[in-house]
Amino acid sequence: MTSASNILYKLYEDRLLASLDKSRFPHHIGIILDGHRRYARSEGLPSYTDSYRAGMGRFQEFIGWAEELGIPAITGWVLSRENLDRPAEELDPYFNVLIELFERLPEQCSRHDMALRFVGSLDLLPDAVVAAAKAAAERSREGSRRLTIAMGYGGRQEIVDAVRDLVAGLVREGVAAGDLVARIDAEAIGRHLYSADLPDPDLLIRTSGESRLSGFLLWQSAYAEFAFVDVFWPAFRRVDFLRALRDYTRRERRFGK
């Protein structure tokens, strides 16, 4: 951008921000970081590693944007279970970039008073990635705000895991087989989800022009509002975030009523 373009862009951002009704901001935002590979191809980047690094840098910026606006909780989906079927030449560079991200996050979480948690089928991931995630979470256990990173995550698997955990707990309590069905309801399952202590997301954002959730927070998103943004994740701008918030604050949420 030229200097003049930067000035106009900043003026538009400021005007957009001033128009937002902050009393209607979401308390929990879910974000699907989609479009890294297509971004690399569209920009002619020499490798996917460059777009992965750009995307994780943008994720850290996004965390800052949300903190500035007082958003208490973020859940970012960085890797699905299905993504794990991709070839090693695509996954290995991404794993390395994730490790780099996890090494940087504790300092940022500390600055933003943010507790960090990882959810998903971590047992499916390389040991080095899991070790880096656990080390980051251990260094970022306390905070009034919450950052949850979903990797090796699938929404159906989360529900399966929740039901299994619920039933196993009931069995340990000595609940008879004939009484199990009566003890399994939506509230009970909800208590066994990966992030049961978080409120359901109010707003889910997906980048790259795809208009589907692909299994992200299936249970929790029953009454969420959705924002499908055309840009690839590494190119996602603060103004795109503000536009999504503007549209969200203008909606009348009915929660199925």
Per-residue pLDDT at 7: 80
7: number of CA atoms within 13 Å, CB side?
3
Domain 25-249, CATH homologous superfamily name and number: Decaprenyl diphosphate synthase-like (3.40.1180.10)
Residue ranges, the chain, pLDDT below 70: 1-4
Q: Return phi, psi of residue 32, to 5°.
A: -100, 115
Element (H, E) at 117: strand 114-119
Q: How far is it, in rounded angstroms, from Cα 118 to Cα 105?
A: 12
Task: Give the pLDDT confidence score for residue 1 in this predicted structure.
Answer: 56
Cα dist. 22→19, 82, 111 in Å? 9, 37, 22
What was the pLDDT predicted at 250?
Answer: 94
Give the model's pLDDT for residue 4.
67
pLDDT number for residue 205: 98
| Backbone conformation region of residue 49, classed left if phi is above 0, alpha if psi is from -120 to 50, else beta | alpha
| Residue 40 structure tokens | 């690399």
**What backbone phi and psi angles, to 5 degrees, belong to 183?**
-95, -5
Question: Which tokens sit at 76?
Answer: 């970012």
Catalytic annotation, residues? 34, 83
Q: Which residues contact 93 (CB under 8 A, 6 or more apart)?
A: 47, 48, 49, 52
The distance of Cα 113 from the centroid of its chain, to the nearest Å, equals 18
Rounded Cα distance between 208 and 233, Å, is 6
Cα 97 to Cα 119: distance, rounded to the nearest angstrom: 18
CA–chain centroid gap for 122, Å, is 16
- The residues spanned by each domain of the chain are 25-249
